Structure 1
């Protein structure tokens, strides 16, 4: 296995182990990592800042002493040789007078000479105004400064850095300890904050588990206005929509069962009557009655077929994908008119159509228009006319109006004619399932349109279907 592959495998395994940790644990780990990174950065910055400030202060102090000594009589070699380092206020000071030829004189002789090098000789030769550096002597670090002390010589002062190095060492030890404590506290605080912050998520989880286990769709109490509160609001809205969908399905099943019961009961009665008449020794049914019963059974089968087809249509999602393909609405209405004329008897349809194109489902649109036409034909008197008119409202929407000359719709029934299984009192003896106009509304909503009902100028009902789109010539 190559090294990159091994690295990728290790990273993938680490990621999988991290994903197995709880969300609270992950937040705590991330908080600890962030805190650790910040502690490292702050510790490094603090250490560097303190070290630079201490060294700057030490350099400034040594340079002040060196300049003060260079301006005094101490630069005389005879006097310098007889002065101890304590004369400069510290026992860890070493002092020397360096000449441009690299010779030097120091107090108490060679043994007390400071670290000397090219930098100090350069100052004595006048190539540099002063020098500052760190050097080791006898296994001890020294801070060495050199300033010009007359022509061709430089005064060198060196101070041991043992005490300063101890300060740096203590600082380097204490900062990581304090940082480690900070990382632990940050991890604990991260877990505590995560527990408090994720409490609404726990409520959402409990609610989802409750819905899955019991079907109880009570909303969750919401506190605050933050993102989690918005998530809870959205979850409550989802619960409300789910409850409404369940109630809608329940009503659909109940209403469908009620509508199916009547034709099934009638069909069973007729079939039992036919079966009883066919038994040996049973009185024979007159041919006219037998044909009437068979016609009744055929009509009930047709009614059941229509009802089942309508139920299948309504069982689809209420809001499937709207955009399918370009549809010429004029062609859709003409096909629906052909089908409606074949079963409308002597009712006449008078269309007024305009070119119109929209994106949608041609089959569903044809079904919706056909339902409007069938409804108008059912309520039209013998030899009546049904007006079918396309009327553009603006450049982006058109209304398809279907008006008949029948008795019209009562005012109290107008708001409900597009409801599922709704049938006005005057229509309960008429054939139909009460689903045709509900399908019209469903198709309209799926295509971004709307439906409404009113009274037509012809005196009957006016049913309108509004759809989006554009003129075919636009």
Structure 2
């Protein structure tokens, strides 16, 4: 596996630690190298300047007589250097008991007067050598050992190396601490996702601070809350659907078992009237099951996320629903209709189903010869309302807060056909389109249902 692949397999915490250590190591290395080079250059410059001053002092020192030879008086005061007098022929005079300083061709040029100074480094003796002119065609040559300065620079390099290593270790420790502290919310998110995946645990994660990770945690908690709410709604739907399906299925099973038992030899026979009554009951229960299953399918479709939205002429939607309601209603129920233009983006079939449910509900509770009032009008605030009012008994105060709940049926509605899901479908369709559904009392005395939807007064141009 290549290096990038291996690096990607390292944990994020380790990568943060390594990155901090590498960054500090690079910075410390640059600073240490710069400090070493600066100190080294300064020491060398000071060494050369000191050597130059000593050479100039030696060249101007008074002469003394050593037996029959006159030599510079500085020869007698030199203790840490090697010093000598070089003539034009290359002959070197130096104090007895000392070593001769090294020479080069540049030093001979100084003795001959063709150069004013020559300074150089002798690698064999590890010393710095300087030569300056001296009277009578000679040159003072001074050599001073570089070993003390090199020892100092060596110690400095060791100190800088140790400090750099400590800096890298401190940076790695600091990077580890920062990674552990900074990535703790990420670790909590990781633990939460594993908890959800393995156990379905949707508990929210504690949030601390207000940085990007805290906001990410808040969004994750919001997602967990949405998933928990969706699961709870699904659980209630399944539980309520099972409860509602149990009653017609039990009744149908009883009727079918009674019919089958009457066909067995020796069993009491049923009269034609009893058989007809049982057949009517079975048909009614089948119709109830068909309606209930259709409503459940519609609710499941409404719960799914809406993918496609299209321009909808709400007047056309309401008119289609009205035609279907008229075909289902008894001939003695009248419709009072008033529609004004309105358009919006949405799902026309879902809106048609919602309006049809309101009309069917109004027809069901209207008395014989009653009137169902249907109106579509804008409110002037960017929304319009579809109002359906009936001439029935109205909604009791105790039932008003619950009429849009799934499977809820008032005491009066329990004797009438229906699944208790129609108004829940209306509410979901309204909320799916950014609107709302309301229930109240109509001026006529019956129930008044209002479907409020956003949009614009005129159909959108294509």
Q: TM-score, normalised by structure 1?
A: 0.76
Q: Which residue of 1 aligns with 2:66?
A: none
Gaps of 5+ in 2: 64-69
Gaps of 5+ in 1: 1-9
SS in 1 for 2:412: helix
Q: Which residue of 2 aligns with 1:7?
A: none
Q: Is the 8 A contact 1:95 1:114 kept in 2?
A: no
1:4-29 superposed Cα distances (whole Å, 9 cap, x missing partner)? xxxxxx6xx22322233334333333
| Distance in 2 separating the partners of 1:88 and 1:295 | 138
Q: Which moved more, 1:308-317 or 1:337-346?
A: 308-317
Counterparts in 2 of 1:247 and 1:86: CA distance versus 1, 3 Å:
farther
The alignment status of 1:354 with 2:340, answered yes or no, reads yes
SS in 1 for 2:367: coil
Q: Cα distance, 1:210 vs. partner? A: 4.3
The alignment status of 1:337 with 2:322, answered yes or no, reads yes
The alignment status of 1:28 with 2:14, answered yes or no, reads no
| Distance in 1 separating the partners of 2:85 and 2:382 | 99
Q: Which residue of 2 aligns with 1:406?
A: 392
Q: Which moved more, 1:33-42 or 1:194-203?
A: 194-203
Counterparts in 2 of 1:114 and 1:253: CA distance versus 1, 3 Å:
same
Q: Which residue of 1 aligns with 2:372?
A: 386
| Distance in 2 separating the partners of 1:390 and 1:180 | 80
Q: Which residue of 2 aligns with 1:6?
A: none
Q: Is the 8 A contact 1:407 1:461 kept in 2?
A: yes
2:453 to 462, 467, 472: 467
Q: Which residue of 1 aligns with 2:257?
A: 272
1:373 to 337, 354, 359: 359
Q: Cα distance, 1:434 vs. partner? A: 0.9
Q: Is the 8 A contact 1:210 1:216 kept in 2?
A: yes
RMSD of Structure 2 on Structure 1 (CA) = 4.3
Counterparts in 2 of 1:85 and 1:73: CA distance versus 1, 3 Å:
closer
Counterparts in 2 of 1:49 and 1:417: CA distance versus 1, 3 Å:
farther
The alignment status of 1:443 with 2:429, answered yes or no, reads yes
SS in 2 for 1:341: helix
Counterparts in 2 of 1:112 and 1:59: CA distance versus 1, 3 Å:
closer
Q: Which moved more, 1:410-419 or 1:204-213?
A: 204-213
| Distance in 2 separating the partners of 1:148 and 1:392 | 112
Q: Cα distance, 1:416 vs. partner? A: 1.6
**Equivalent residue runs for 1:200-211 within 5 Å:** 200-211=185-196
1:56-97 superposed Cα distances (whole Å, 9 cap, x missing partner)? 54566567778x869x95699xxxx94366699884487999
Q: TM-score, normalised by structure 2?
A: 0.78
| Distance in 2 separating the partners of 1:48 and 1:405 | 100
1:352-372 superposed Cα distances (whole Å, 9 cap, x missing partner)? 223333222222122112111
2:275 to 290, 300, 310: 290
SS in 1 for 2:227: helix
| Distance in 2 separating the partners of 1:94 and 1:354 | 118
Tell me how many residue pairs correspond in the alignment. 446
| Distance in 2 separating the partners of 1:351 and 1:125 | 123
Counterparts in 2 of 1:310 and 1:113: CA distance versus 1, 3 Å:
same
Counterparts in 2 of 1:283 and 1:16: CA distance versus 1, 3 Å:
same
| Distance in 1 separating the partners of 2:405 and 2:238 | 15
